[in-house]
Chain A
Amino acid sequence: MVDISLSGAQHHVDSIQASCMAQVQRRRLYGGLTLLIFVVLMVSGFNVADDRNAGGFWDGLHQIGDYPADVLSEAWEKRADLPALIAKYFPALVETINIAAVSTLIGAIGGLFLSLLGTRGLAKWPRLIPLFRRISDIMRAVPEIVIALVLIFVLGGGPVPAMIAIAIHTAGALAKMFSEVSENTDLKAVEGLASTGATWSQRMLLGVLPQVAPNYVSYTLLRFEINIRASAILGFVGAGGLGYELRNAMAWGPGRFDEAAAIFILLFGTIIFFDQVSSRYRNRLTEGQGQ
């Protein structure tokens, strides 16, 4: 009796081991196949991109340093002028930061409404939740450059098209992040307020916002970092600010590289500065929330 049960167990272990090995093998096969497909995609994608590029990768590789070296050496030669140039482009920097700040503010306000109107349990009109979600999906999907270019055509160059374009994208992006937070809000406060006869806006302002404010502010700061980069890039296509000056300075070519260098320094410093400041505040805001 003991023998039988033992050999049965033996048999059992064997079959378990066999099926385990089979499973491992299958997983290895799948893993290997996935890796193979991935490698093929990367290599062929690289080759296609290399083919369609004006200059080849291997030809250009040793030239990467040339342009920065030219810019830096010329800037070093004229290093005495650098502070003056930085002062000259400082207003453009302020414009870039202003574009980012205003569009983040407008986007955050828009995102706040979109997220509250698109969250189950909080929405003013529960039937319209899918509508507001689609609106924020579409606003999120539109790259800033699309709106910026169209608006530059209508409104002329300057900071306003960039501001509107970034604000629209920010509203969509923040609406998604905000609604992920507000889905987890405690509805008891809202119900309590509702029982006192509070209107929808009072319920949101007093019941929901205090709960979600730290996370919202944290996401908004993160977005501000991203938007500084975006507003610099949009400047490059004609929307004012530092990017616009950079394009002009680059169009001058050699001889004016010191100006390009000054703009590079300003942009680099600004991005690093706001990254550090915002990450410090974000850490403080989300501290003690399990993150």
Chain B
Amino acid sequence: MTTIDLDATKFEAEKLFQRKRLIGFGFPAVIAVYFVYIFFAFDLPGLAGRANMENAVTLASDSWSHKVHVTRDNRSGEITYAVEGERKGRYPEGQRPDWVRGDEVITIDLGGDIIVRYLPDNRTEIEIPGFQPIEAQAEGRTVTTNLPDDLPDWISASNRRVGITTAEGRITLTGARTEVFNYFPGWELFWFTLDSPYYGQSLAKILFGDQIDPARGNITGAVSDWWNNAMWRHKDVAWAIGETILMAFLGTMGAAIIALPLGFLAAKRFSPLMLVRAATRRLFDFVRGVDALIWTVVLARAFGPGPLTGALAILITDTGTFGKIFSEALENVDQKQIEGVASTGAKPLQRYRFGVIPQIVPVLLAQILYFLESNTRSATIIGAITGGGIGLMLTQAIQTQKDWEEVAYYIVLIIAMVMFMDWFSGWLRGKLIGRKD
């Protein structure tokens, strides 16, 4: 009898093992098959063809460096010096970088013994170590050079455009313009633009040195020039971050305020009418299901782009989420405390205030603060769609496809902002309801 029993048990155990083994291998196998399907559905083999590695290199190098353009307009012969080639970064009249010399013949020293000379009559001479001297003549729409037919891969040349890329900088020649780009590490003009008298001054000199601008005190002048920096737009960036946080704050708190009474309506304990309960719950499901994206689209039609639209989109979506969470918390309240309050002769409203609210406040606050942090991230994304806050600035900077240092700056700021909100909501939670452990 014992043998039979054991056999049966062994059989059972082996079957169980087999099933476990099947799950153990089957589950990863299903995932692997799914990945294979995705590999082809997302056309990953074709990705290599579509990916633009040149973009990646520009992005990586531009995000931590800047370039100074020396441009000769071949029609007027005028030479301009500008950081990133922008009007805002142009050197004032009569000033130029110290690696440019000469008057009739402009000599540009890119470093590494690479010398570019702008000669009169739109001629250009380029000296590159280990390569023949290059001479170019711009005429009308064409560029004539003495380049050989057999070119290294860092030179591209046609009769319309010549591009030379070296480790020290780039040179492009077209009929209309001759340009030299000299690369330097760092974010140029981050503190002051070139037209500010404080440009190039050391911190110590601004703080303790003589007055630089006769009209203004050093510190107020420096702060105001930095704040109104046209290149990096610190003022706008600060406003944008403020807008993003404001969207998250207004949306989260507004949703909580609206969801709390509705939560009572949806909780079985406090809302005896089935119909009301079901209607409220369906409302929560509906606003949650429509999702912030569609709300943003719909609201942007009514209110136009801006932070208010984003805040309302967050508010409406989160009313559904909060309503669901709150009503669940309300169903789990302890009846004893309510009875205790009722035994003192408290009226219904007082029973809610002193019997119910104290029980659910910790849950509510924890959720609200968690959502505050998470909505800061959502607000960045919604801002990119609806046109407000730092999300919009980021999208714009990426779309112009040249200010990668600004993109890097915004990304750093966004991450710092989210981490700050994370820390802040954790801190506030600790203050209000005590640490979790």
Is A57 part of the contact surface with B, judged by Cβ < 8 Å? yes
Per DSSP, are chain A's interface residues mostly helix, strand or loop, or mixed? helix
Is A158 part of the contact surface with B, judged by Cβ < 8 Å? yes
Q: Give A231-289 interface residues, CB cut-off 8 Å to B.
A: 232-234, 236-237, 243, 246, 250, 264, 267-268, 271-272, 275
The answer on a CB contact under 8 Å between B422 and A141 is yes
Task: Kindly state the separation between the CA atoms of A60 and B313 in the bound complex, as whole angstroms.
Answer: 14
The answer on a CB contact under 8 Å between B59 and A153 is yes
Is B273 part of the contact surface with A, judged by Cβ < 8 Å? no
A54 contacts which of B52, B306, B311, B398 (Cβ < 8 Å)? B306
Once A154-B56, A236-B293 are accepted as A-B contacts, the answer to whether A145 and B394 lie under 8 Å apart by CB is: yes
Q: How far is the CB of A32 from chain B (nearest CB, A)?
A: 15
Residues in A with CB closer than 8 Å to B246 are: 45, 48-49
User: Which A residues lie at the B interface, using CB under 8 A?
Assistant: 38, 41-42, 45-46, 48-50, 52-57, 60-61, 63-64, 66-68, 95, 98, 101-102, 105, 137-138, 140-146, 149-150, 153-156, 158-160, 163, 229, 232-234, 236-237, 243, 246, 250, 264, 267-268, 271-272, 275
Residues in B with CB closer than 8 Å to A163 are: 42
Task: Kindly state the separation between the CA atoms of A57 and B306 in the bound complex, as whole angstroms.
Answer: 11
The answer on a CB contact under 8 Å between B52 and A156 is yes
The answer on a CB contact under 8 Å between A55 and B384 is no
B250 contacts which of A42, A63, A236, A243 (Cβ < 8 Å)? A42
A271 contacts which of B34, B291, B307, B415 (Cβ < 8 Å)? B291
Among the 9-residue stretches B83-91, B119-127, B132-140, B296-304, the one with 4 or more Cβ atoms under 8 Å from chain A is: B296-304
Is B249 part of the contact surface with A, judged by Cβ < 8 Å? yes
Q: How far is the CB of A106 from chain B (nearest CB, A)?
A: 9
The answer on a CB contact under 8 Å between B394 and A160 is no
The answer on a CB contact under 8 Å between B303 and A53 is yes
Once A48-B246, A49-B250 are accepted as A-B contacts, the answer to whether A149 and B292 lie under 8 Å apart by CB is: no
The answer on a CB contact under 8 Å between A102 and B38 is yes
Known pairs A53-B308, A143-B391. 4 more at Cβ < 8 A? A55-B304, A102-B42, A158-B42, A160-B47
B298 contacts which of A68, A154, A158, A236 (Cβ < 8 Å)? A68
Closest to A137 in B: B419
Residues in A with CB closer than 8 Å to B56 are: 154
Residues in B with CB closer than 8 Å to A137 are: 419, 422
The answer on a CB contact under 8 Å between B50 and A156 is yes
Q: List 12 A-B residue pairs with CB atoms under 8 Å apart, sorted by A's residue number.
A: A45-B250, A49-B247, A52-B243, A53-B303, A142-B415, A145-B384, A150-B398, A236-B385, A243-B293, A264-B294, A268-B291, A271-B288
